[in-house]
């Protein structure tokens, strides 16, 4: 099970990558 903190970080990084 992935921790919420880790999943949140991954989502933020993915969002930034897609945005850029």
Residues 1-20 have pLDDT tens digits of 679 998 888 888 887 766 65
User: pTM for this structure?
Assistant: 0.31
Residue 20, pLDDT score: 56
Buried b (16+ CB within 10 A) or exposed e, 1-20: eeeeeeeeeeeeeeeeeeee
**CA quadruple 17, 11, 6, 9: dihedral, nearest 10:** 50
């Amino acid at each position: 099970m992935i921790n919420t903190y880790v999943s949140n970080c991954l989502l933020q990084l993915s969002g930034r990558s897609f945005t850029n």
